Every structure is written in C-alpha cells, then in structure tokens.
C-alpha cells in the first residue's frame, strides 16, 4: 500500500487553495509529508474542483516551475497532476516519476505519447463532464477505462505502468460515489492497480455535514474501505493519519493471513 501526499500549488483548490502556492511553503509542506512517510508527492497547479476556472499551460507552468525541481530533489517520487501533455513533458524532463491525468489520457491527444516517451507510470482517472443519475456508472467506468487503456497500449505504455483511479467526486452523483466505493473491487476485471482519492471531498461532507477541514475521520473511513476493496494507492491530504491507520489495517491482514494455514490443518 502506498500513500500519495497532495501538494496543491494553486490559489483556489477546494481544500487548501493558497496555503502552499509560494515555493517556500510548498517545499516545507512536501518535507513535512515525507517526514510523515509519504511514498509519493502529487503536485498540481490547476484546481479541478467543480466550477474552478481553467488555467492555461503558461500559468500552470509558472506555478509549478519554482516548486517542482526542489521537491523532486528531496528524493521521494513525484507525481505531476495535470491533463496537459506539455506540462507533463516538462515535468518529466525535470524528473517527475508519475503522470496523474484526471481525464485518463482522453483530454489532450498528445498525453499518451508524452507518458510513453518518458517511460513513467500513468494514473488514468475516470471523469465525466457532468453527473447523470440515470446511467450505470460502473458500465460507464468500464467503457472509459477500456478507452484509456487502448490509448495507453497504442502509445506503448506498458500495462505494468498503467494505474486506474475511479475519480471520486468527478462527474458522479453522491449515490454513485458510494456505489463505486462499495463496488470498487469491480475494477479488478481490468487487471491494473487502483488509486483511490476521496480526501476531504464533498461525498464525505455531505454525509457528515462538516466543513472541508473537518473531514479527516470521514476520509480515513472511505480510504480504509477502498483499501479493503483493492486500492493500492491512497491520495490524501493528511499523510500521518493515513499511514498510521493503514499500519493497523496491515496488522489485521497479517493476523488474518496467519489463520489460514492453521485453519487448513484442522
């Protein structure tokens, strides 16, 4: 299990917009998450929250450039959270180790080739322009991921470098978000690792009726359930809390595994 710590260098992200926009604040936060045992740092410079203003590539890079190389130099793998091929290319040249595309290679036609040329893994997230309560969301995800995987295969991205993200909070109704969580093991049919990222999202606030900065406990609950259903990477704001919760879960799994041979011998 891997914990991916979120580093938003944006003025308008839904949870921590503006807190780490300055290069020194971003670097300090990255160091803090690494000290808390983050396995990956995911850096994004454009908010993808509903209603956020679009950012052109020049502005996105101007936010990233002062931060990216210093964070990469810390020695922990860095993921670049972008759907723009040119941003991904520049980040990979500097040493980004993963591309995290919220449109699953389907927004920018050049993205798959950039990832293939860089030889890095790619997170392909399910997304929709808008939610539709009438659709079968699992079937929609299957079709989306089959297209993303096809694009990745055609570009020459090895299957072992492809990762799926169900996209909690993106183009889904509240009920669909929880249906996807409850059926997350459905995605195992695609044979790829799964990343889950529901940290502090509205699907948690809607159930608990708490503001964004009071959604840690709900985030932990959702992510532990996701891990039980097959997620192997958790994208989170609160690294230490998740690392500790996952350690308890791992201890439970070890105990459970130890029972299997004992019970088989009865």
Close Cβ partners of 256 (under 8 Å, ≥ 6 residues apart): none
Close Cβ partners of 81 (under 8 Å, ≥ 6 residues apart): 42, 43, 44, 45, 100, 102
240 is catalytic: no
Q: Which of 63, 84, 89, 235 is catalytic?
A: 235
Strands 231-236 and 194-196: parallel
Contact (Cβ atoms closer than 8 angstroms) between residue 9 and residue 45: yes
- What's phi and psi for 126, nearest 5 deg? -75, 135
- What's phi and psi for 196, nearest 5 deg? -120, 135
Question: DSSP letters of 156-212?
Answer: T--GGGEEEE--TTSS--HHHHHHHHHTGGGGGGG-S-EEE--TT-HHHHHHHT--G
**Helix and strand element counts for the chain (H, E):** 9, 8
Q: Which of 200, 201, 215, 229 is catalytic?
A: 201
- What's phi and psi for 158, nearest 5 deg? -60, 145
107 is catalytic: no
What residues act catalytically?
201, 235
């Amino acid at each position: 299990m891997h914990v991916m710590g979120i580093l938003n260098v944006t003025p308008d992200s839904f949870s921590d917009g503006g807190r780490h926009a300055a290069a020194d604040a971003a670097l300090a936060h990255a160091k803090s998450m690494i000290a808390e045992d983050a396995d990956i740092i995911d850096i994004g410079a454009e908010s993808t929250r509903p209603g956020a203003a679009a950012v052109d590539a020049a502005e996105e890079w101007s936010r990233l450039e002062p931060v990216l190389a210093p964070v990469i130099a810390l020695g922990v793998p860095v993921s670049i959270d972008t759907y723009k091929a040119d941003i991904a290319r520049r980040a990979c040249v500097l040493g980004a180790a993963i591309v995290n595309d919220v449109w699953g290679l389907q927004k920018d036609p050049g993205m798959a080739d950039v990832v293939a040329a860089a030889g890095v893994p790619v997170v392909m997230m399910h997304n929709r322009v808008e939610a539709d309560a009438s659709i079968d969301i699992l079937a929609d995800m299957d079709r989306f991921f089959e297209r993303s995987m096809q694009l990745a295969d055609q570009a020459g991205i090895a299957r072992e470098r492809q990762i799926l993200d169900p996209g909690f909070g993106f183009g889904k109704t509240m009920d669909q978000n929880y249906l996807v969580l409850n059926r997350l093991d459905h995605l195992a049919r695609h044979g790829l690792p799964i990343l889950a990222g529901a940290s502090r999202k509205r699907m948690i606030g809607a159930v608990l009726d708490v503001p964004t900065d009071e959604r840690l406990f709900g985030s932990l609950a959702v992510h532990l359930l996701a891990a039980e259903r097959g997620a192997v990477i958790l994208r989170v704001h609160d690294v230490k809390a998740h690392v500790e919760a996952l350690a308890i879960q791992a201890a439970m799994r070890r105990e459970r595994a130890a029972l299997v041979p004992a019970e088989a011998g009865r």
